Amino acid sequence: MTLYETVIGLEVHAQLNTKTKLFCSCPNTFGQEPNQNTCPRCLGLPGALPVLNEAAVQKAILTGLALNCDIQLRSVFSRKNYFYPDLPKGYQISQFDLPICLNGWIDIPLPEGGTKRIRITRIHLEEDAGKLVHQGAEAIAGSTHSFVDLNRTSVPLIEIVSEPDLSSPQEARAYFETLHLILKHIGVCDGNLEEGSVRADANTSLRPVGAAAFGTRTEIKNLNSFRSIERAIQSEINRQTEVLNAGGKIVQQTRNYHDLTQTTTVLRDKEESHDYRYFPEPDLKPLLVTEAWINEIKKQLPLLPEAQKDIYKRDYELNDSEAKVLIQDPDIHHFFQTALEKAGSVSPKLMAKWIVGDINAAIKIENETFQSSKLSIPNFLALMSLIEAEKISGKMAKEFIPEMVKTGKSPHDLLATIGGQQISNTDELDPFIQQVLSENPDVIEKIKAGKTQSANFLMGQVMKLSGGRAKPDLVLALILKAIQNI
Amino acid sequence: MTSPNIELSRTIALAHLEVSSDESDQYIAQLKNILSHMEQLNTCDTTNIETTPYVYQSEMTLRPDEISQPFGDVKAANPQHLEGPYFVVPQILGEGE
Amino acid sequence: MRDLFSSATQLAQQFRAGTKKVGDVIQQLFTHIDQTEPKVQSYLHLFKEAALEKASELDEKFKKGDPLPPLAGVPISIKDNLMMTGTPTTCGSQFLKDFVSPYDATVITKILNHGLIPIGKTNMDEFAMGSSTENSSYQNTKNPWNLNKVPGGSSGGSAASVAAGEAWLSLGSDTGGSIRQPAAFCGLVGLKPSYGRVSRFGLVAFASSLDQIGPITRTVEDAALLLSVIAGHDANDATSANQALPNITEINRPLTGKKIAVLAESFDKVIDPDIQAAFSAACEILKSDGATLETVTLPALKYVVPTYYILAPAEASANLARFDGVRYTTRDESATTLQSMIKKSRGQGFGPEVKRRIILGTYVLSSGYYDAYYAKAQKVRNVLTAEMIALFEKYDAILCPTTPNVSFGFGEKSSDPWQMYIEDMLTIPANLAGIPALSIPCGQKNGLPIGLQLMSKHFAESTILNMGHRYQQLSDWHLKTPEGITS
């Protein structure tokens, strides 16, 4: 039985988070009344002409730089012609033979450890299409009619095409995840998968192990989650393997993935494949960018996630998962970076631990983001200072945090209401300790007999008496010392 | 080499035009004639000539990324195929893209 | 009656001097239109109420002595492929028979701000495809010089409206000659500006790299003034040029020192001998004003018709794909599936010439044919452009007749599309090269006007406007009016 190896290439479409659409000044936002967010251009009215969004070009270049591409000083827009109701002009303005970026790469983590370099063929700019809402059935099949909503037409997209360097569904998933994070991290895309901000088409083919020529490939369209990419490709590999093992031939076709059944079905065969009749867009001149502009944009390129993560781990002694949370979400990362700037002498390691732990949790409970919650940077830094100076205990901090996130109060406000800072003064603690020891002679006996764990119980009693303000480990030490002297 | 007749028939379908077979025959005949005149272009020497499609080379001005909606509700003038806020179309067979 | 045939410049002066009131002129004009339209059929829609309203506003301002722009108050007709808010805009097609413009083309905004008064939308070949206006799905417009003859196309209604005294000015569009050829057939001045000179925003696109909007007028002076109103960079049109407006202050300077290249092809046997004769006489007049004329040849001229009829339909096939029955066109309601709805709607909505060109355009772009046709035609276009630019190194302008024949009878050229296409052979070069071109009346054959064409390099409209204006100082063809209409 022939053994096959898998060859996968991914085409990823990402919506750029510009303020306006690609070819008109309508807002680039989500969720309005259908067809509200339109104008003569994005409705495809006669006489309307496209005008290219500068920020979209800038973000495409930034992406190209982040993905190690050659930015083309001259690129050209082309018309991709086909009929469909979500495409009001009857053509999509895209880039065909002269895209804005060529020849890049990214390194992806392999499941078994190490990294693999995946080459990127090209990146180009194009406009998104509208949406269809099918009536009378869940999807197109069986529907009686459809509603057309053109709000999304002309939203700017970049299409990132990889070489067929991916060798497994896991690698494809890792590639998509890495790319997804980079796009969010450099600030060109919000990365919202549920809203369809990033979608992938997967090209899969099999060939006998060691063969040079490519097998016939199929395309699975519109995958929009990490899991579905892995599953869809796996299902397609299984299907193709079965066909080949039965002596059949793979037919070049476009397929759809169905999450419920975890299978793919045919959308379109090659014979019916479109002849897009690409030709250069006569309403737009060639896009010329200067080296000077590219260099300016390069300055705005932040350290990429992996590199940033390594630095955090090294410099702030964070472990891998802590560092990951910090860079995974631009919202969290931005908060951390701002706090770092204003930190003064507060330990970054301390800040990082609290941010990725309790603060992140509290913010999520409130259904907020670091940006939107009432926790301010100064208040956060004040809290960190208090912890560092041992003026409040970790337990107290944990109690303060939800309040600070919900109400925006400073830790000093909260101290005033709760009453008092942490007690770490031996003289202040002594009375509490003496009282607890006198009330618990039997526990003292146990401890003297060797059951030192019971000292924790005594410590708890001291904490109660002190209203939670005593410094726990100091109390424990004092208790044990006192007992020794009894 | 496929006959121009078949190619032109396919082209009529690609252009999404439904015409009677008489009409189709007429167009195909006329277009074959027109296309025959295009052969003249082969006598024009275009070696080393670019296909640059632009009438004159100059830079394109880019639009600043600022929201502006000066046209108002452009659908209102032509509500022909609107049902509420949506354009309605009959049943779609198969998918576009 | 003679009043209706004055120049726009003269009329505007009369408004400024107070010797005429705009409201009176509009009334007079509509009375004339009522009498003349049944014969000529220039207009698809008329805006009497709106025109009278604007007229009374302007009369107020004139009375108060408010400063007003040079052509304020002058009635203008608009080709029906220009967006003008609230007006039907059919492009001569049944497919758009219910379409109402929801926004203004940039040129419309400019003429309204200038105080020009739109009288109505004029008839045209459907989607600007044609050279006789016979391809309009609504009506045939007649040539005011001879009602049995065509006015030319595709801006036939525009030209006829001015020639018949139904407007003083008109805005047309020109992709392969659609302003100049009807102007020539109707004894008028027609200017196709340089590509990028006038914003195309709001012009229903036929061939995006060839289309330009331009004036159809009685005098070159009027054309120059109207050009100044509509020209200029527009942020709404990425192909519009960032150029200073053409300088028209010197259009009356004598032509001493000017060198003009006369195309040898003007005396080719396909050119009507009477046209050749009128053309030669016109050359003498230009010489008499001091210009030096030399004969040159343009080798690529023989390729222009096939080149154009590949590139224009190709772009049009994509530009017309938005007309699909989904949003604002008519729709075949009997279709039960989307795909058949689109095909039936387009099949019924478009006329034969439009369908022919869509099919041709789709074909030359399709896989396997792109290189042989579209790419080849782009290259030939560049060969032609290079030849013309080389000529402009030595010459200020290129001169030839506007058309090989004078106007023809209805149905005369309908049997073979190619016969109609080759009528454009002398006008197409200027569209392919993107250079400005001016047609002016220079003679008649059997009462049918003959046109002379001047072309200059990119953005040098002032050169040909100067030459055309000087010609009109030394000749009177532009002062003649069609007998049948003025009686």
Task: Tell me which of A449 and A130 has the higher pLDDT.
Answer: A130
| The total number of structural domains that make up chain C | 1
A-B Cβ pairs (cutoff 8 Å, strict): 119
A216 in reach of chain B (CB within 8 A): no
Residue C482 to residue C145: CA distance in whole angstroms: 5
Question: Whose CA is closest to A188, among A161, A158, A153, A147?
Answer: A158
Least confident of C115-119, C221-225, C244-248, C342-346: C244-248
What confidence score (pLDDT) does residue B97 get? 47
Q: Is C235 an interface residue toward A (CB < 8 Å)?
A: yes
pLDDT greater than 80 at residue C482? yes
- Touching check for B95 and chain A: CB below 8 Å? yes
In chain B, the N- to C-terminal Cα span, in Å, equals: 30
Nearest-angstrom CA–CA distance, C472 and C463: 14
Residue A44 CA to residue A91 CA, distance in Å, equals: 10
Class of domain A426-484: mainly alpha
A330: part of which helix (H) or strand (E)?
Answer: helix A330-342
- Give the amino acid at A316: Y
Tell me which chains share at least 3 CB pairs under 8 Å with chain B.
Answer: A, C
SS3 state at A362: helix
Residue C34 has pLDDT above 50, yes or no: yes
Task: Give C100's strand partners.
Answer: C88
Identity of the residue in A25, A43, A268 whose CB atom sits nearest the CB atom of B74:
A43
Instruction: Tell me if chain A has a CB within 8 Å of the CB of C203.
Output: yes
Side chain identity, residue C242: N
Average pLDDT of chain A, as a whole number: 90
- A273 pLDDT band, cuts 50/70/90, is low
Could you tell me if A279 and C311 are in contact, meaning their C-beta atoms sit under 8 angstroms apart? no
Q: Mean pLDDT over residues B32-46, rounded?
A: 94
How far is the alpha carbon of B71 from chain A, nearest alpha carbon, in Å? 6
Got the DSSP string for C319-382? HGGG-SSSSSS---TT--BHHHHHHHHHHHHS-HHHHHHHHHHHHHHSTTTTIIIIIHHHHHHH
Structure tokens at A13: 């479409």
For residues A123 and A158, give the distance between their C-alpha atoms in angstroms, rounded to a whole number: 7
- How far apart CA C237 and CA C376 sit, in angstroms, is 27
Beta-carbon contacts of residue A34 (< 8 Å; ≥ 6 apart): A147, A149, A151, B84, B85, B86
C45-57 per-position pLDDT tens digit: 999 999 999 999 9
Helical (H) or strand (E) element with C450: strand C448-455
Give the range among A427-431, C108-112, C429-433 with minimum mean pLDDT. Answer: A427-431
Which of A145, A254, A274 would best serve as a mutation to test chain B binding (most B beta carbons within 10 A)? A145
Residue A437 near residue A483 (C-beta atoms within 8 A): yes
Cβ contacts from B onto C, under 8 A: 168
Give A483's pLDDT tier (boundaries 50, 70, 90). confident
* C329 part of a folded domain: no
Cβ atoms of A51 and B63 closer than 8 Å? yes
Tell me if C468 sits within 8 A of C438, measured CB to CB.
yes
Average pLDDT over residues C55-83: 96
- pLDDT for res A233: 97
Testing the interface with C: which of A283, A284, A285, A287 to mutate, by most C Cβ within 10 A? A283
- Interchain contact, A284 vs C238, CB within 8 Å: yes
Tell me how far CA of residue A61 lies from CA of A107, A225, A301, C321, in angstroms.
19, 25, 10, 31
Across the interface, whether the CB atoms of B92 and A55 are under 8 A apart is answered no
Task: Please name the member of A44, A47, A146 whose beta carbon is closest to the beta carbon of C83.
Answer: A47
Answer yes or no: is C445 within a domain. yes
Q: What is the rounded average pLDDT for all residues in chain C?
A: 96
Rounded distance between C-alpha atoms, residue C344 and residue B89, angstroms: 14
Of C209, C317, C344, the CB nearest to B15: C317
Please choose, from the candidates A203, A224, A223, A197, the residue with its C-alpha nearest in 3D space to the C-alpha of residue A215: A203
- The token duo for A132 is 């269809």
Contact (CB<8Å) B41/C235: no
| CA B62 to chain centroid | 26
Q: Rounded to the nearest 5 degrees, what angle is found at the Cα of C77, between the Cα atoms of C76 and C80?
A: 150
Q: How far does A88 lie from chain C, in Å, by closest CA? A: 6
Task: Verify whether the Cβ–Cβ distance B92 to A146 is below 8 Å.
Answer: yes
- In this prediction, residue A419 carries a pLDDT of 58
Q: Is B18 on the interface with A (CB under 8 A)?
A: no
Chain A contact set for C239 (CB, 8 A): 49, 282-285
- What SS3 state is found at C102? coil
Please tell me which residue of chain B has the smallest CA distance to A284: B60
Residue of C318, C327, C362 with shortest CB distance to A79? C318
Q: Are A143 and B91 within 8 A, CB to CB?
A: yes
By the CB < 8 Å criterion, does B94 face chain A? yes
pLDDT digits (tens, 9 = 90+) for C133-152: 999 999 999 999 999 999 99
Within a domain: C278: no
B89 in A contact zone (CB under 8 Å): yes
Count of positions (residues) in chain A: 486
Which helix (H) or strand (E) segment holds residue A173: the answer is: helix A169-185
Q: Classify the C-alpha dihedral C85-C87-C92-C94 as positive or negative.
A: positive
* pLDDT tens per residue across span C251-290: 999 999 999 999 999 999 999 999 999 999 999 999 999 9
For residue B85, count other CB atoms closer than 10 A to its CB.
Answer: 14
User: What pLDDT shows up at residue B1?
Assistant: 45
Parallel, antiparallel, or unpaired: how do β-strands C117-122 and A91-94 relate? unpaired
C390, C382 Cβ separation under 8 angstroms: no
Give domain status of residue C305, yes or no: no
| Residue that wins the pLDDT comparison between A392 and A167 | A167
The per-residue pLDDT for A271 is 58
Contact C376 B46 (CB under 8 A): yes
Q: What is the C-alpha separation between C241 and C228, in angstroms, rounded?
A: 14
Cis bond before residue C194 (omega within 30° of 0): no
Residue C310: list chain B partners with CB under 8 A: 38, 41
A279 to chain C, any CB pair closer than 8 A? The answer is yes
Mean pLDDT value of segment A103-129? 95
- Nearest CB to B16: which of A83, A134, A280? A83
Bridge-based pairing state of the strands C259-263 and C397-401: parallel
**Binary contact (B92, A132; C-beta < 8 A):** yes
Q: Which of B44, B66, B73, B91 would you mutate first to test chain C, the one with the most C CBs within 10 A? A: B44
Shortest CA distance from A148: residue in chain C = C326
pLDDT interval class at A474 (50, 70, 90)? confident
Nearest-neighbour CA in chain A from C175: distance (Å): 14
| C-alpha dihedral, A408 to A412 to A414 to A420, nearest 10° | 170
Residue A217 confidence (pLDDT) above 70 = yes
Q: How confident is the model at residue B7 (pLDDT cuts 50, 70, 90)?
A: confident
Return the amino acid letter for A352.
A
Structure token pair of residue C196: 């990028």
**Share of residues in chain C with pLDDT > 90 (%):** 94
What pLDDT is stored for residue A395 in this prediction? Answer: 84
Q: From the list C203, C314, C365, which residue is nearest A47 (CB)?
A: C203
CA distance B49 to chain C (A): 6
Question: Of the candidates A262, A257, A174, which has an alpha carbon nearest to the alpha carbon of residue A223?
Answer: A257
Q: Per-residue pLDDT tens for C394-437?
A: 999 999 999 999 999 999 988 888 988 998 999 999 999 999 99
Q: Which of residues 2-41 of A touch B (CB under 8 A)?
A: 18-20, 25-27, 33-36, 38-40
CB A247 within 8 A of CB C338: no
A401 CA to chain B: closest CA distance, Å? 39
Q: Measured between alpha carbons, how far is residue C327 from residues A184, C86, C143, C318 in Å?
A: 36, 17, 36, 17
In A67-106, the residues whose Cβ lies within 8 Å of chain C are: 79, 81, 83, 85, 88-91
Q: For chain A, say whether C91 makes contact (Cβ under 8 Å).
A: yes
Closest CB from C359, C383, C418 relative to B33: C418
Asked if A268 and B94 come within 8 Å (Cβ–Cβ), the reply is yes
The C-alpha atoms of residue A289 and residue A62 are separated, in whole angstroms, by 13
Active site members of C:
79, 154, 178
Residue labelled with tokens 């942490």: A422
Domain boundaries, chain A: 4-292, 303-418, 426-484
Domain membership flag for residue C91: yes
CB-CB neighbors (< 8 A) of B15 in chain C: 317, 346, 358-359, 362
Contact with chain A for residue C183, Cβ under 8 A? no
Residues of A in contact with C103 (CB under 8 A): 40, 45, 47
Tell me if C337 is assigned to some domain: no
CATH code of C146's domain: 3.90.1300.10
A265-269, A282-286, B26-30, B85-89: the lowest-pLDDT one: A265-269
Spatial contact of A456 and A476, defined as CB atoms under 8 Å apart: yes
Give the dihedral sign, CA A210/A212/A214/A215.
Answer: negative
- Whether C376 maps to a domain, the answer reads no
The distance from CA C307 to its chain's CA centroid, rounded to whole angstroms, is 21
Each residue of C403-413: pLDDT tens digit? Answer: 999 999 999 98
Q: Sorting pLDDT into bands at 50, 70 and 90, what band is C211?
A: very high
Chains that touch A (3 or more CB pairs under 8 A): B, C
Percent of chain A with pLDDT over 90: 58
C96, C202, C366 member nearest A277 (Cβ) = C366
Distance CA A187, CA A304 (A): 11
Maximal C-alpha separation, chain C: 70
A146 and C338 in contact by Cβ < 8 A? yes
For residue C181, being part of any structural domain is answered with yes
Q: Between β-strands C43-46 and A156-162, what pairing exists: parallel, antiparallel or unpaired?
A: unpaired
- Cβ–Cβ gap B53/C363 under 8 Å: no
Is the model more confident about C423 or about C85?
Answer: C85
Q: Are the Cβ atoms of A83 and C201 closer than 8 angstroms?
A: no
B14 contacts in chain C (CB < 8 Å): 362, 366
**What secondary structure letter does DSSP report for B96?**
-
